[in-house]
Structure 1
Amino acid sequence: MIDKTVALEGQGENQGSIALIGQGMLGPFMLVTTLFALWGFANDVTNPLVKAFKEIFLISNTQSSLVQFAFYFGYFTMALPAALFIRKYSYKTGILIGLGLYAAGALLAIPASLLMNFWIFILAFYILTFGLAFLETTANPYILSMGPEETATRRLNLAQAFNPMGSLTGMMIASSYILAELQVLKFENTEAVRAFAASDPSAHQAMQLADLAIVRGPYIAISGVILFMMVVFVFSKMPDTGGHSEDGKFGDIIGRLTKNKNYYEGVIAQAFYVGAQIMCWTYIIHYATETLGLSAESGQKHNIAAMILFLCSRFICTFLLGYIKPSQLLLSLAVGATGFTFGAIFLEGMVGLYSLVGISACMSLMFPTIYGIALDGLGDDAKLGSAGLVMAIVGGALMPVVMGALIDAGPIIDGMHPVKSSFFLPIVCFAVVALYAYRAKKRHLHEA
């Protein structure tokens, strides 16, 4: 009998005759895959708000990065409750709860904008990501269960390939509808906005109200899409692939997971990866505007280019996984991401920005591949194990705040712009991912 861990980690070998998607699973697979695009949209329509809210509310980089803290801390808060919920009930029920919370959080943008209250926006993002935590905790293991174990990581990479489509849509809306229309971003810099607010407070308040009305628009629109998807899922027959089960004591499962190096190291690597991803995509706008003097809209266009590269690379990497072991490909791309990040720090002008864009090609594989490797051979424990990997998204809450503080504190290296020097933090993150990939590769060779 082939060891399950070896079968999954050895996915680069002899997969031609093994089905990627199980019999009768194509329809459900396609339907669940739409969820990946939905949470991708939320992630990337929100990222530019770090820069936008800094100007609208006249707050610091550290304070504005609380947008990301609230957004990704919601994952940490709700991932484990979501996993326990689907153990007792079903994947379908978990999806419906997730969609409901997603819609509720999105609709909170209405009172937040009308009251011009930054903290209600923070609450809205926090609740919205309760829904995303339910969706990710449910959809990822559900996809893994929709076919042979030998092709599980490839199957998840294929489903995750549609996540950037939602992200790209969110980015384009953020660029063409939000950043391009915000009046506050027409000012030369923050000091000019402060001067305007001091000279004419009522006009500044009117501008804030108008800008926040622009911000809330996409959230109202996506809430309508989500409610429609809820109806679709309610009336769709979804196969039971073992998502609900109360077999095994909670403490015993946690004990096994915490003793599994492949798993708990994967959780750590995932936290650092998500932190790196969010930092690179959030602060690309700061990089463009503050180090190169480009507009926020132009910075977001480079972010869109990064996402297109990410999307194309995801499909390419999914193909390559048919020939290369996941851990080997993950290691190669982590090293590549580190190199591009050094380029963003030390290369001058547009070349540095292009290096920052290039990081996305290397990041495309990381989340689903770490996820798949970490859950290798866990069997039914993967249901709770998936929660740990979703909780690891908290890296996206913590790292951007640290990066914002680094920017506010000034340059790490004399003479270097603080935005540039702050990218040493993503380098640390990619190094952790590379170490995990190397150790996973060694474990596979040892077990083989």
Structure 2
Amino acid sequence: MSDGIEVQPYESAAEVSGEGEPHNTSPPKVVPRQYLMAFILTTCCFALWGFANDITNPLVKVFKEVFQISNTQSSLVQFAFYGGYFTMALPAAYFIRRFSYKGAIMVGFALYAFGALLSIPASLNTNFWIFIAGFYILTFGLAFLETSCNPYILAMGPPETATQRLNLAQAFNPMGSLTGMIVASTIIAPNLQVGEFRDKMEAKSPEVVQYVEADYASGLPDFDQEYGTLDAAVSKALANMQVTSPETFQAIQQHDLGVVRTPYVVIACVVIGFLILFALTKMPTFAADEPDAPVGELTVRLFGKAHYREGVIAQAFYVGAQITCWTFIIHYGMEQVGLSLAQAQTWNIAAMMIFLISRFVCTFMLKFVSPGKLLSALAVTAAILTFGAIMLPGQTGLICLVLISACMSLMFPTIYGIALKGLPAEEAKLGSAGLIMAIVGGALLPLMQGWFIDTIGVRNSFYLPLICFVAIAIFGVRTFTRFEKESNFQTVS
């Protein structure tokens, strides 16, 4: 299946010819001119999956109240969302081997749109499980996009600048994430009736105080927002409303799920537009000189390489840490500082802005510092900040939690680039699938942290991402003390 311009894999600017003298001594370009349009279009995909990731995070808290479920149950949103990556990454790699990167991207768009559109029957039927199915299928599409786009970007230029090129493309991912967060805070959160209910509880309005248990019924005189008592009382009141005034509660559910549905329908339309655009655009296919080796042989070769094997493990820890920090920053702000959902989401937006700025700064720093050293330094700093979020009360702890994003900005693309460094194209295709499957960390760890929140509280639950950052720091140290010194592993300059 040919989807466009068929070219051979890019040759390094330092490739020798004739007597062995380099035919071009100029610095290698990050994005060569012949790939510029393909690079721009593919980079747009990074923003599209960033939007999906971060408009979904606040729904863990929203669904907890709207469906009256536990933190553990509401964390199934992230379990389904990131579980879809694990399920579909390997099939996506098989598809790329059989067809092309472009074809895989188009399939990704189709699945993305279909999953987003499932929000329509889910909201109309007030059905939590249809939402879960929609998130699961949506991330089938994201798995196709990430499995194809990351190695596609790596192939669009000289290997010497591959990690820089991927970091540049990944820099546009937080732009999509930031857009998703802004939509969540300006369109979803302010229009939720559960948010209005919470405001009335804070004001001790009689129309909502009537739903609170007897020990709070006298105007909630001992309300202490600083330690999350308001949040607990809101949950109790909504639970009582569901029992004593089911029609009123169902009206709130229908309204709020309709609010949640709208941005998913809009993004589905945008994604369908990109599907049409890719279908009409010629893209390079990077034809290999020889057919790829059997999958079993490639798998053995891949996991025989320590930098790849350990990179997959580090990526699972990273994605788990990222999703827990961004998902439960809302719980932290609401329960530890007494913020509303919209206010807590504003702190999440601040974290994403810091993440975005730091991504560009770290991409620039890679010109001067090896990936392994920078990765390990940032992971250690992230661990210290996470410990601060655990030990320091109130807003100080929340600030530490937000600042972790500055450290996380470099991690995904750098771990990805380190893991695939020096791999031939046939191994990189399958290797990319393994790294995308590692995103399952984002499914498992939030579920674990949701259970920790239910049992030991939101602050202590952050020991889980703390352990993740320690593991990433170890991988970073391993990279610059061992991998970057090996003859077949060149440090990106």
Same structural fold, with TM-score higher than 0.5 when normalized by the shorter chain? yes
- Which residue of the other structure, out of 388, 393, 398, is the alignment partner of 2:444? 398
- Which residue of the other structure, out of 90, 109, 116, is the alignment partner of 1:99? 109
- Which residue of the other structure, out of 161, 180, 198, is the alignment partner of 1:151? 161
Asked whether the equivalents of residues 86 and 244 of structure 1 are also in contact (C-alpha less than 8 Å), the reply is: no
Asked whether the equivalents of residues 285 and 300 of structure 1 are also in contact (C-alpha less than 8 Å), the reply is: yes
4+ residue segments displaced more than 6 Å: none
Q: Could you tell me how far 1:245 is from its partner in structure 2? A: 7.3
Q: Could you tell me how far 1:22 is from its partner in structure 2? A: 2.4
Report the RMSD for the aligned CA atoms in angstroms. 1.5
Q: Could you tell me how far 1:444 is from its partner in structure 2? A: 3.5
The aligned counterpart of 1:420 is: 459
1:276 aligns with 2:321: yes
CA distance, structure 2, for counterparts of residue 219 and residue 444 of structure 1: 43
Q: Could you tell me how far 1:186 is from its partner in structure 2? A: 2.7
The aligned counterpart of 1:116 is: 126
Unaligned runs of 5+ in 1: 5-14, 411-417
In structure 2, do the counterparts of structure 1 residues 126 and 246 end up closer, same or farther at CA, with 3 Å as the change threshold? farther
In structure 2, do the counterparts of structure 1 residues 18 and 60 end up closer, same or farther at CA, with 3 Å as the change threshold? same
Q: Could you tell me how far 1:443 is from its partner in structure 2? A: 1.6
CA distance, structure 1, for counterparts of residue 101 and residue 32 of structure 2: 17
- Could you say which structure has the greater relative contact order, defined with CA pairs below 8 angstroms and 6 or more residues apart? 1
CA distance, structure 2, for counterparts of residue 102 and residue 218 of structure 1: 13
- Which residue of the other structure, out of 128, 144, 147, is the alignment partner of 1:137? 147
CA distance, structure 2, for counterparts of residue 359 and residue 134 of structure 1: 29
Deviations, residues 20-64 of structure 1 (Å, cap 9, x unaligned) = 012401111001000000000000000000000000000000000
Number of residues of Structure 1 aligned to a counterpart in Structure 2: 429
The aligned counterpart of 2:39 is: 29
1:436 aligns with 2:446: no
In structure 2, do the counterparts of structure 1 residues 350 and 251 end up closer, same or farther at CA, with 3 Å as the change threshold? same
- Show the 5 A alignment for 1:251-290: 251-290=296-335
Asked whether the equivalents of residues 307 and 483 of structure 2 are also in contact (C-alpha less than 8 Å), the reply is: no
Asked whether the equivalents of residues 142 and 243 of structure 1 are also in contact (C-alpha less than 8 Å), the reply is: no
CA distance, structure 1, for counterparts of residue 288 and residue 342 of structure 2: 43
CA distance, structure 1, for counterparts of residue 419 and residue 320 of structure 2: 18
Deviations, residues 61-84 of structure 1 (Å, cap 9, x unaligned) = 000000000000000000000011
**Counterpart residue type for residue 377 of structure 1:** G
Q: Could you tell me how far 1:151 is from its partner in structure 2? A: 0.4
Q: Could you tell me how far 1:199 is from its partner in structure 2? A: 2.3
Q: Could you tell me how far 1:243 is from its partner in structure 2? A: 7.7
1:224 aligns with 2:263: no
- Which residue of the other structure, out of 23, 29, 40, is the alignment partner of 1:19? 29
1:79 aligns with 2:125: no
The aligned counterpart of 1:362 is: 407
Q: Could you tell me how far 1:445 is from its partner in structure 2? A: 4.9
Deviations, residues 176-200 of structure 1 (Å, cap 9, x unaligned) = 1111111112334111111222221
Moved more, 435-444 or 161-170: 435-444
CA distance, structure 1, for counterparts of residue 394 and residue 292 of structure 2: 58
CA distance, structure 2, for counterparts of residue 226 and residue 23 of structure 1: 26
Deviations, residues 127-181 of structure 1 (Å, cap 9, x unaligned) = 0000000000000000000000000000000000000000000000011111111
The aligned counterpart of 1:10 is: none
TM-score (norm 2): 0.85
Moved more, 187-196 or 61-70: 187-196
1:446 aligns with 2:491: no
Asked whether the equivalents of residues 87 and 243 of structure 1 are also in contact (C-alpha less than 8 Å), the reply is: no
In structure 2, do the counterparts of structure 1 residues 118 and 284 end up closer, same or farther at CA, with 3 Å as the change threshold? same
1:383 aligns with 2:429: yes
Q: Secondary structure at the match of 1:234?
A: helix
Q: Could you tell me how far 1:16 is from its partner in structure 2? A: 8.1
The aligned counterpart of 2:57 is: 47
In structure 2, do the counterparts of structure 1 residues 423 and 16 end up closer, same or farther at CA, with 3 Å as the change threshold? farther
Asked whether the equivalents of residues 164 and 307 of structure 1 are also in contact (C-alpha less than 8 Å), the reply is: yes
CA distance, structure 1, for counterparts of residue 105 and residue 296 of structure 2: 25
Q: Could you tell me how far 1:347 is from its partner in structure 2? A: 1.3
CA distance, structure 1, for counterparts of residue 287 and residue 33 of structure 2: 16
